[in-house]
């Protein structure tokens, strides 16, 4: 196994780990209830079914990492033939961007589910605060619904990227059409999604004031930048100028992606550490 | 109510100790995912290990081939044989889809693929950069898979209308230079006096359709697909640019996994033979695969010769030709020695 093959395998593992973690968290919520939400155990068949569908789509989308990397490298080849080390660095950056994209979908599963029950972990009084501000609550609900819709649409886009073949481009051309560009579609939808998430954060700021976590805003802004990167580079008429711009922003996009991945992984790590502490306390008791 | 509000102000983890008796505590809820997660990771690791052990127990193992799947002439042996000759030799062949031979070569160099398929132009550039590659032979040869698409009214032997769409650093750009040199106009390209539009192969027919490119030098099937548009014609004989496809790998793959490489070469040899045994049936199969109309491939199918070969002399001559062009185009400063790309002992000798 080469270094890049190993890296791509590791990135896939990170995606699966994140997905498994949030999936189990959501399922535990659905099946066992949640004390902070005054429980709703075994009442949400629709939400359970949707979660299962989302898990299948997100897990399929991990197959998009390699085509994504390949696309970035081929775009760079249009402007320059970079040396091997730069090619590997670009592949790593592209892999990080795609992984961050996928990991955030897994995280969104939990965020959307808990918000439906008036729980927003960083702001313990979220339910009371939002109920005391009905206008902001209505706006928050509207923005959250749009984000959820875009979230579902993006899952399908990622699945298409993962399962599409370059042969389809030829089939489309042979039928007199134009090759589909699923990556560009996903980038465009990602831009919209993160835009609405930033709007949601601002509405949340009106509800929770200073309690609204600033790190989350940086997380969404990093996602917005990464979506811009995906949208920009994968536009069909990639020419020399596009490729040059891609080279300029790929490093920045990778830093944003790394921040997103670390944010998600730290979320997992915190939960694991807290659980271990509780377990130790229970053992001692 | 006051109690609920107080509880909510605490973190979920602080809350867990004070939940009502008989209901699941938050600590339990959080613990459950962790336990299940540990099981999942353990399962994944065990599955991975078992899978790896199973793979290693097979004779040849797994190789990833970076294949330009959209180019029917490149992919035909793989479409017709459906990977059966490789499976028969215990080789699990995974495919990484790429758009060109350049991308295939780059995937092998970077390590996202183990085996690649490339024409001479990217290999000439690779040799100049000293990239770690080994050529394992060729499996097809054709003088007509690349051509010029240009407005119908243009005269043969003239400079194609600008902007000319090309795929940079590939046979597309090199064939354009070769053509211009034949008509004595190579200086236009050497001095950057020709407007080029550098695109990926599937974008070229669309660029010609919407007028952002006026002509193009491109390979099949994008050549024929471009020709179907009104007021455009394709010429396959004007370029006189022979194309061979080279099978390449990294030296480390050849040194560490000679059995897998041998299985791949034997597989491709068998696939080419099967394709040659039933050429018409194979052509129809490829046409169906791409959704082409019947006989779409007839003009070019017979001009592609599928045969596994390892001939150092012909490898040297074709790569040197493209290295000369690369130098003229300013990609490299000197024509490199390509001997290091050729293995001392080819894994499969021609029968």
Is there a single domain that holds both residue B174 and residue B253?
no
For A178, the closest chain B residue by CA position comes to: B206
Distance CA B160, CA A173 (A): 23
Q: Does A283 touch chain B (CB under 8 A)?
A: no
CB B140 within 8 Å of CB B305: yes
Is residue B241, in this structure, part of any structural domain at all? Answer: no
Q: What integer pLDDT is reported at residue A218 of this predicted model? A: 92
pLDDT > 60? residue B7? no
Name the minimum distance, in Å, from the CA of A117 to any CA of chain B.
13
SS3 letters across chain A? CCHHHHHHHHHHHHHHHHHHHHHHHHHHHHHHCCHHHCCCCCCCHHHHHHHHHHHHHHHHHHHHHHHHHHHHHHHHHCCCCCCHHHHHHHHHHHHHHHHHHHHHHHHHHHHHHHHHCCCECCECCHHHHHHCCHHHHHHHHHHHHHHHHHHHHHHHHHHHHHHCCCHHHHHHHHCCCCCCCHHHHHHHHHHHHHHHHHHHHHHHHHHHHHHCCHHHHHHHHHHHHHHHHHHHHCCCCCCHHHHHHHHHHHHHHHHHHHHHHHHHHHHHHHHHHHHHHHHHHHHHC
Is there a single domain that holds both residue B22 and residue B162?
no
**Tokens 């809350």, residue?**
B15
Q: Does A183 touch chain B (CB under 8 A)?
A: no
Record: contact B8-A66, CB cut-off 8 A: no
Is there a single domain that holds both residue B13 and residue B27?
yes
CB B301 within 8 Å of CB B275: no
Segments forming the whole domain that contains residue B90: 61-141+246-291+310-341
CB A63 within 8 Å of CB A162: yes
Is there a single domain that holds both residue B169 and residue B134?
no
Distance CA A25, CA A49 (A): 15
Is there a single domain that holds both residue B136 and residue B251?
yes
- Domain boundaries, given as residue ranges, for chain A: 3-280
pLDDT > 70? residue B182? yes
For A172, the closest chain B residue by CA position comes to: B291
Range picked from B25-39, B114-128, B185-199, B327-341 for highest mean pLDDT: B114-128
pTM above 0.90, yes or no: no
Cβ neighbours of A179 in B, within 8 Å: 202-203, 206
Q: What integer pLDDT is reported at residue B253 of this predicted model? A: 92
pLDDT > 80? residue B88? yes
How sure is the predictor about B22, in pLDDT bands with cuts at 50, 70 and 90?
Answer: very low
The size of the A-B interface in CB pairs under 8 A is 194
Enter the tokens of residue A69: 């990397």
pLDDT tens for each residue of A130-152: 888 889 999 999 999 999 999 88
Give B239 or B289, the one with higher predicted confidence: B289
* Three-state DSSP class for residue B233: strand
Record: contact B125-A81, CB cut-off 8 A: yes
Q: Give the best residue of A1, A88, A166, A241 to mutate against chain B (max B CB count within 10 A).
A: A166
Is there a single domain that holds both residue B67 and residue B86?
yes
Q: Which residues contact A85 (CB under 8 A, 6 or more apart)?
A: none
Q: Which residues contact B87 (CB under 8 A, 6 or more apart)?
A: B93
Record: contact B102-A77, CB cut-off 8 A: yes
Is there a single domain that holds both residue B137 and residue B256?
yes
Enter the tokens of residue A53: 């569908």
pLDDT tens for each residue of A28-61: 888 888 777 666 667 788 888 988 999 999 999 8
b (16+ CB within 10 A) / e for B186-204: beebeeeebebbbbbbbbb
Q: Does A36 touch chain B (CB under 8 A)?
A: yes
Instruction: Indicate the residue of A28, A78, A91 with minimum beta-carbon distance to B33.
Output: A28
CB A70 within 8 Å of CB A78: no
Q: What percent of chain B has pLDDT over 90?
A: 43
Cβ neighbours of A272 in B, within 8 Å: 34, 37
Q: A 80-139 residues with CB below 8 A of B?
A: 81, 83-84, 87-88, 91, 121, 124-125, 127-128
Is residue B256, in this structure, part of any structural domain at all? Answer: yes
ipTM over 0.85: no
* DSSP run (H or E) holding B308: strand B305-309
Region A163-172 average pLDDT: 87
pLDDT tens for each residue of B236-279: 888 888 899 999 999 999 989 988 999 999 999 999 999 999 99
Is there a single domain that holds both residue B152 and residue B203?
yes
Alpha carbon of residue A192 to chain centroid: 13
Is there a single domain that holds both residue B197 and residue B178?
yes
Region B282-309 average pLDDT: 90
Q: What percent of chain A has pLDDT over 70?
A: 92
Strands ordered across the beta sheet of B196-198: B196-198, B164-166, B215-219, B146-151, B232-235
Which of the residue ranges A256-260, B22-26, B187-191, B325-329 would you say has the lowest mean pLDDT? Answer: B22-26
Q: ∠ CA A64-A65-A71 to the nearest 5 degrees?
A: 85
pLDDT > 50? residue B26? no
Is residue B348, in this structure, part of any structural domain at all? Answer: no
Say which CATH number the domain at B181 has.
Answer: 3.40.190.10
Is residue B272, in this structure, part of any structural domain at all? Answer: yes
Is residue B121, in this structure, part of any structural domain at all? Answer: yes
Record: contact A32-B32, CB cut-off 8 A: yes
Q: Does A79 touch chain B (CB under 8 A)?
A: yes
Which residue among B235, B254, B278 closes a domain? B235
Q: What integer pLDDT is reported at residue A284 of this predicted model? A: 83
How sure is the predictor about A253, in pLDDT bands with cuts at 50, 70 and 90?
Answer: confident
Region B160-168 average pLDDT: 91
Instruction: Indicate the residue of A17, A87, A171 with minimum beta-carbon distance to B291.
Output: A171
pLDDT > 80? residue A235? no
Is there a single domain that holds both residue B135 and residue B267?
yes
Q: What integer pLDDT is reported at residue B157 of this predicted model? A: 86
Give B1 or A148, the one with higher predicted confidence: A148
Which residue among B29, B54, B79 closes a domain? B54
Is there a single domain that holds both residue B134 and residue B166?
no
Record: contact B202-A29, CB cut-off 8 A: no
Record: contact A179-B222, CB cut-off 8 A: no
Q: What is the tally of structural domains in chain B?
A: 3
Enter the tokens of residue A226: 């990464």
């Amino acid at each position: 196994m080469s270094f890049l093959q190993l890296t791509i395998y590791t990135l896939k593992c990170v995606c699966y780990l994140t997905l498994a973690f949030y999936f189990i968290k959501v399922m535990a919520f659905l099946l066992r209830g949640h004390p902070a939400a005054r429980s709703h155990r075994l009442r949400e068949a629709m939400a359970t079914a949707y979660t299962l569908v989302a898990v299948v789509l997100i897990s399929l989308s991990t197959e998009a990492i390699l085509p994504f990397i390949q696309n970035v490298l081929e775009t760079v080849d249009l402007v320059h033939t970079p040396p091997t080390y730069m090619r590997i660095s670009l592949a790593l950056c592209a892999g990080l961007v795609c992984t961050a994209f996928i990991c955030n979908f897994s995280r969104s599963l939990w965020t959307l589910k808990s918000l439906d029950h008036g729980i927003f972990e960083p702001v313990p009084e979220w339910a009371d605060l939002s109920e005391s501000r009905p206008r902001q609550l209505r706006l928050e609900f509207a923005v959250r619904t749009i984000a959820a819709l875009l979230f579902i649409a993006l899952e399908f886009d990622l699945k298409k990227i993962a399962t599409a073949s370059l042969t389809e481009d030829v089939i489309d051309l042979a039928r007199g059409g134009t090759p589909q560009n699923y990556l560009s579609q996903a980038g465009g939808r990602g831009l919209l999604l993160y835009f609405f998430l930033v709007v949601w954060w601002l509405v949340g700021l009106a509800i929770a004031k200073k309690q609204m976590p600033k790190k989350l805003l940086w997380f969404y802004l990093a996602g917005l930048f990464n979506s811009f990167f995906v949208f920009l580079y994968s536009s069909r008429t990639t020419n020399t100028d596009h490729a040059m711009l891609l080279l300029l922003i790929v490093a920045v996009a990778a830093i944003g992606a790394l921040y997103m991945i670390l944010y998600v992984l730290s979320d997992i790590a915190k939960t694991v550490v807290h659980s271990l502490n509780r377990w130790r306390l229970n053992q001692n008791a | 109510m006051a109690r609920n509000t107080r509880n909510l102000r605490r973190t979920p983890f602080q809350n867990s100790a004070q939940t009502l008796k008989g209901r699941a505590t938050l600590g339990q809820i959080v613990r459950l995912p962790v336990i299940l997660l540990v099981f999942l990771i353990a399962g994944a690791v065990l599955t991975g290990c078992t899978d790896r052990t199973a793979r290693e127990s097979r004779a040849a193992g797994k190789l990833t081939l970076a294949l330009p799947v959209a180019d029917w002439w490149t992919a035909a042996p793989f479409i017709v044989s459906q990977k059966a000759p490789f499976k028969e030799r215990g080789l699990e062949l995974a495919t990484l889809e790429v758009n060109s031979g350049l991308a295939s070569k780059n995937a092998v160099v970077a390590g996202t693929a183990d085996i690649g398929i490339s024409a001479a132009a990217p290999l000439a550039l690779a040799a100049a950069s000293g990239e770690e590659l080994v050529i394992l032979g060729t499996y097809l040869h054709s003088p007509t898979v690349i051509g010029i698409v240009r407005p119908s009214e243009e005269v043969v032997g003239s400079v194609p209308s600008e902007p000319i769409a090309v795929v940079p650093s590939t046979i597309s750009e090199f064939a354009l230079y070769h053509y211009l040199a034949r008509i004595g106009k190579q200086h236009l390209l050497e001095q950057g006096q020709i407007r080029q539009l550098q695109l990926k192969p599937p974008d070229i027919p669309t660029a010609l359709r919407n007028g952002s490119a006026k002509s193009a030098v491109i390979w099949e099937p994008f050549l024929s697909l471009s020709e179907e548009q009104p007021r455009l014609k394709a010429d396959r004989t004007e370029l006189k640019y022979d194309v061979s496809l080279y099978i390449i790998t990294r030296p480390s793959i050849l040194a560490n996994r000679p059995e897998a490489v041998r299985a791949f070469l034997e597989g491709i040899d068998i696939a080419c033979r099967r394709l040659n045994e039933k050429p018409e049936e194979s052509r129809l199969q490829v046409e169906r695969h791409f959704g082409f109309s019947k006989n779409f491939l007839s003009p070019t199918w017979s001009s592609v010769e599928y045969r596994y070969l390892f001939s150092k002399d012909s490898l040297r001559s074709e790569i040197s030709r493209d290295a000369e062009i690369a130098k003229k185009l300013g990609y490299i400063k000197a024509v490199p020695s390509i001997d290091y790309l050729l293995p001392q002992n080819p894994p499969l000798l021609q029968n």
